[in-house]
Structures are given as structure tokens and as C-alpha cells.
Amino acid sequence: MSVQSAGTRSLTTTSLREMKRREEKIAAITAYDYLFARLVDEAGADVVLVGDSLAQVVLGYDSTLPVTLDDMIHHACAVRRGIKRALLVVDLPFLTYQVSREEAIRNAGRVLKETGAAAVKLEGGSDEMAETVRALVRVGIPVMGHLGFTPQSVNTMGGSRVQGREQGGGERLLAEAKALEEAGAFSVVLELVPGPVAESVTAALEIPTIGIGAGVGCDGQVLVLHDMLGLNDGFRPRFLRRYAEMAATTREAVGEYVRTVRAGEYPAPEHTFE
């Protein structure tokens, strides 16, 4: 097997807990291929997530639902080859862990065995989901939870919207986060959650919270790489900060390439072998 052994990785699930204890912010980011994984690892990301956002930003689907376990494993293997330091977490896609605990263990186990990832992430905080987390942790599979807006439930949540605003919503989110922690999750993503709710969940947990659209009070942040690089340039939610405008840069560069090829300016003599 070509994957790196766990012993050569420098960050572990316990490193994240220690970072929370030391009040050091955790920087997480998604990646889906070898080259970007190498770049984000070299740039110092603490956690690299092969998110099921793969479905949208790489495979062109309009939700995360169609992506398969084989798709996730294929991309996670490429990402693993690019990472030296960061903790690699892989999303379990829709219907690979909800049907039964046995299926969840088999599918999450495949992810760890075939990709060399350190952990899986799954969505939801129901009592059944907490029991699934407990079952996975019991067989040695570390789990990151995901609460608030959970994209695999986009059809029952009525679209991509902020969660926990309704009467009792904050208390429900807190109870779900506590249940995931008690079941053994090592961290939890809070997506599209009001800032004060995310802050009180963060204060109540010993495990770190990783926010996306959840304000400043989380222990860390995660963004989809293609969104923060401005590659996915039609996507402009309020929480997103763009650190580059790579869609525009790519169009300009490729447009210039097309122009120079058509004009006979490229290749020039210096690009030509004697």
C-alpha cells in the first residue's frame, strides 16, 4: 500500500484538543487532489478535510448527495499523498452511515484502511447518530461531528440556511454537541450557526469546535478551498472571505494563452528544442 503510515503524521486528533486547551486557533481547509493538498499542507493548515463538497466544487453536482464512497476514497488517496503534517479527515457521504451501524463501521473502516486518513466526519446529532459515533470510536475510528446546517439534509432543511435561531434551537444544538462529545467525537464542525450559539457550544465542550459561518467564537475555522481562493466565483455567502480571485486569474491566463497561440507568438524560439 502506498499510503503513509500513521506514525509519520505530525498532527493527531489529540493535538486538536491540546490546541483548544492552549487557546490556539485551528485552521482547517478542504482539498480534493494531490497538488492542492501539498500546497495547503505546506501553507500550514492544521486539518485537511476531503469534504463531500467534492460533489459540487470538483464533480459539478448541485448538492453533496450524489457523491459516492468510491469517489471520496479515490480523492482522499490523492490528498493523502500530498500531506506531511496536517490531520487528514474524510467526509462519509450520504447514506454510507445512516442505514445501520454495521454499514457505518464497514464504510468508515474502508476510508481509514484504503486512504490512510486519520478520521472521518459525519453529519447530525440525533441520539441514533451519537450511538453511531460511539460504535465507530469503539472500533478505533476517530469521528469529527458536523452540526447546524448539515448539507446532506438540505432537502429536509429547506435549503442552505442558518440553524438554531428558532425558539429552543440553541439549547437543541448544545445538547447534540454534548451528546457527540460524550459519544467520543474528537471535534465538531458548526455550520451556519448564530455567533452567540456557536460561542456557548464552544465554551461548554472540551473538544474543539470548527466553525463555518458560525462567527468568531469557535476554536477553529474551516473553508472550502475553491470558495476562499475565488475559484468558485458565483458563490458569495456572507460568511465567506475570499483570499484570492483565482477564477479571474485563470480566465485571464488561459485567455492570454489562447490569444498567443492563435497569433503565432507561442511557442517562441526560446521554447523550442534545437
Q: Which of 31, 143, 197, 224 binds ligand KIV (CB under 6 A)?
A: 224
Q: How many residues does the chain have?
A: 274
- Distances in whole angstroms, Cα of residue 22 to Cα of each of 17, 168, 200, 206, 208: 9, 31, 18, 12, 11
What residues contact residue 240 under an 8 Å CB cut-off, 6+ apart?
Answer: 223, 227, 228
What residues contact residue 42 under an 8 Å CB cut-off, 6+ apart?
Answer: none
The cell for 79 is 490528498
Query: Could you give the CA distance from residue 273 to residue 251 in angstroms, rounded to a whole number?
Result: 29
Catalytic residue selected from 191, 206, 245, 274: 191
Closer by beta carbon to ligand KIV, 51 or else 208: 51
Residues of this chain, 54-93, that bind ligand KIV according to CB under 6 A: 91
In the bound complex, what is the minimum distance in angstroms from residue 36's beta carbon to ligand KIV?
13
Q: Which of 26, 32, 53, 192 binds ligand KIV (CB under 6 A)?
A: 53
Closer by beta carbon to ligand KIV, 28 or else 104: 28
Q: Which of 118, 189, 192, 218 binds ligand KIV (CB under 6 A)?
A: 189
30 binds ligand KIV (CB under 6 A): yes
Per DSSP (E only), the strands in 122-250 are 143-148, 187-191, 209-212, 220-223
- Residue 175, CA atoms < 13 Å, CB-side half-sphere: 8
Q: What is the DSSP string of 55-67?
A: HHHTT--SSSTT-
Active site residue 191: yes
In the bound complex, what is the minimum distance in angstroms from residue 53's beta carbon to ligand KIV?
3
52 binds ligand KIV (CB under 6 A): yes
Closer by beta carbon to ligand KIV, 47 or else 112: 47
Query: Could you give the CA distance from residue 40 to residue 67 in angstroms, rounded to a whole number?
Result: 23
Closer by beta carbon to ligand KIV, 73 or else 212: 212
Helix (H) or strand (E) holding 18: helix 13-21
- Distances in whole angstroms, Cα of residue 193 to Cα of each of 101, 111, 210, 217, 226: 28, 29, 11, 11, 22
Select the span of 17-25, 44-52, 101-109, 193-201 touching ligand KIV (CB under 6 A).
44-52
212 binds ligand KIV (CB under 6 A): yes
Closer by beta carbon to ligand KIV, 94 or else 263: 94
In the bound complex, what is the minimum distance in angstroms from residue 167's beta carbon to ligand KIV?
27
144 binds ligand KIV (CB under 6 A): no
Among all residues, which ones are annotated catalytic? 191
Name the residues that contact ligand KIV, by CB under 6 A.
Answer: 30, 49, 51-53, 91, 189, 212, 222, 224
